[in-house]
Structure 1
Amino acid sequence: MMSEQPTSWAAPARAGELRAGEVEVWRLELRQPRRLIDLLFEQLSGDEQARARRFRRPRDFDAYVVTRGVLRQLLSAYLGRAGVSVAAQAVGLGRGRHGKPQLLADPVVGADAALEFSVSHSGDFALLAFGRSGALGVDVERLNTGRDIDLIVAHHFAPAEAAALREQGARSEDARCRLFYRYWTRKEAYLKALGVGMTVDLRSFAVGLEPGALLAESARDDAAQWRFYELNPDGRHFGAICVYGGEGTTYLRTMTATVSNSASVQLDL
């Protein structure tokens, strides 16, 4: 079953087999020793290394390298659980039409084409989600009280969401800010699951906040199939996942990934 708050981040011995309806989400701390970041950098593809070097801020460079390096190792683990042996460095990664990361078509990896994944990082954490039952998207945001919430709400929130924020703002500005992030991460997660970038008008749909909430104010025929769940890394970071599947069809496991001295992911504490 899925839980709302607090999110319990445990670590099993290894990545699961991911049967139909199962989703696993890993919480990853982005602050890692320099030696480990350097080792992870060497495990990236040439294109990924070039992209990393284009970041001007060291913190952005580190976040990208750590997230991408661990993504490769987890994908390798999931492929291995499905009987497809692929080293982390050899996992073929590309991007869809609107930038969504995806496994490249490959004679080997193609045998596990049902594997879906989504990645997001912000502040001190990254979230990495994996599943086999259809599209999914994950988003994480660090709390920023200086953000122009009014501007974003005016341009990207559905009427019901905007009304809820106005009501909350009359009580507490801090509560209003936190409510904003709960909505925003769900909306972003949905766009990532669709893989369409910002080509969808965010005002054309609304998201609920209860566990397993579905789309509202949406004209999509499959609106009832999209579900939202809260996944907060800690008290200052907000996270959410959107999964495709009807009510009662999704089982979620939440885990913590740690990085060893050899820059390999440890799947246990």
Structure 2
Amino acid sequence: MNYELIIKEQEEITPDLTLLDDSELDRYQRLISPQKKLSFLTGQTVLKQVLANCLGISPASISFALTPMGKPYLPALAETTMPFFNLSHSEGHYLIGLSSCPIGVDIELPKAIDLTNVRHFLTPHEYEQIKVFPKSLHSSIFYRLFTTKEAFLKATDKWWALDTVRFQLENHHWALTSPGESFQFYQRDYKGHYIAVCLDMTVITTQR
């Protein structure tokens, strides 16, 4: 399946407030944390620059529509080879995924965890799978699963009950066992971060 990942660093991007439309500007102004304001503005800036380059238009002319779940999309991309996109960021790294089918991406920096504190994110079987490993490995195994699940949720753009999305740890990789539709997953590392990509093969790419 045709997809592309673009990674930009904070220092490579000049945040541009003039690129925000009215709704984005309102969201930006409601953010209290300076770091969250910077991350939001930087993310919108680089995303619009990348998509504008795909379309051969000005970034300032891009205004996103939102799905019922709040995922941004751009109707103008429908006639391109990669009409679907997704954005994630972590610690000054900005990840954009482009694809010919619905895509979800996630980038996270693994941090020390207490497995019991993240149990709400796991199905009972997933929790037990991680629990059997030494505590020193819990963080890396959990974040591999966390990024994979986040990418799945973003790709499908649906609300899922916890017990309806299940993964099985196989050969150090998390494999989706439910739902049974066709999804493709890719994982990689980047400067100490974990990256996961999910492609939703169940949706016809000519929609929108």
TM range (shorter): 0.7 to 0.9
Q: How many percent of aligned residue pairs carry the same amino acid?
A: 24
Give the count of matched residue pairs: 201
- Which of 215, 221, 224 is matched with 2:176 structurally? 215
- Cα distance in 2, alignment partners of residues 191 and 185 from structure 1: 10
1:204 aligns with 2:164: yes
Q: Could you tell me how far apart the structure 1 residues matched to 2:33 and 2:170 are? A: 34
CA distance in 2, matches of 1:123, 1:65: 14
Q: Is the 8 A contact 2:126 2:166 kept in 1?
A: yes
Partner of 1:29: 9
Relative to structure 1, the CA distance from residue 212 to residue 92 in structure 2 (aligned partners, 3 Å threshold; closer, same or farther) is: farther
Deviation at 1:114, TM superposition (A): 5.9
TM-score using structure 2 length: 0.84
Query: Once the 2 structures are TM-superposed, how far is the Cα of residue 135 of structure 1 from its aligned partner?
Result: 1.5
Deviation at 1:149, TM superposition (A): 3.6
Higher RCO, 1 vs 2 (CA within 8 Å, ≥6 residues apart): 1
Shift of 1:213: 6.3
| Matched ranges for 1:1-269 at <5 A | 21-31=1-11, 36-37=14-15, 40-80=16-56, 86-103=57-74, 105=75, 109-112=77-80, 115-132=83-100, 134-145=101-112, 147=113, 149-153=115-119, 155-168=120-133, 171=134, 173-196=135-158, 199-207=159-167, 208=169, 214-216=175-177, 218=178, 220-222=179-181, 225-235=182-192, 237-245=193-201
RMSD, aligned CA: 2.6
Q: Return the alpha-carbon distance in structure 2 between the equivalents of residues 76 and 93 of structure 1.
A: 12
Query: How far apart, CA to CA, are the structure 2 residues paired with 1:70 and 1:212?
Result: 31
User: Structure 2 unaligned runs (5+)?
Assistant: 203-208
Tell me the TM-score normalized by structure 1: 0.66
Q: Which amino acid aligns with 2:98?
A: F
Q: Which deviations, in whole Å up to 9, do the C-alpha atoms of 1:177-198 show, x marking residues without a partner?
A: 11110001101110100102xx
Match of 2:206 in 1: none
Query: CA 1:221–1:165 in 2, change beyond 3 Å: closer, same or farther?
Result: closer
Q: Which residue of 1 aligns with 2:205?
A: none
Gap change, CA 1:139 and 1:26, over 3 Å in 2: same
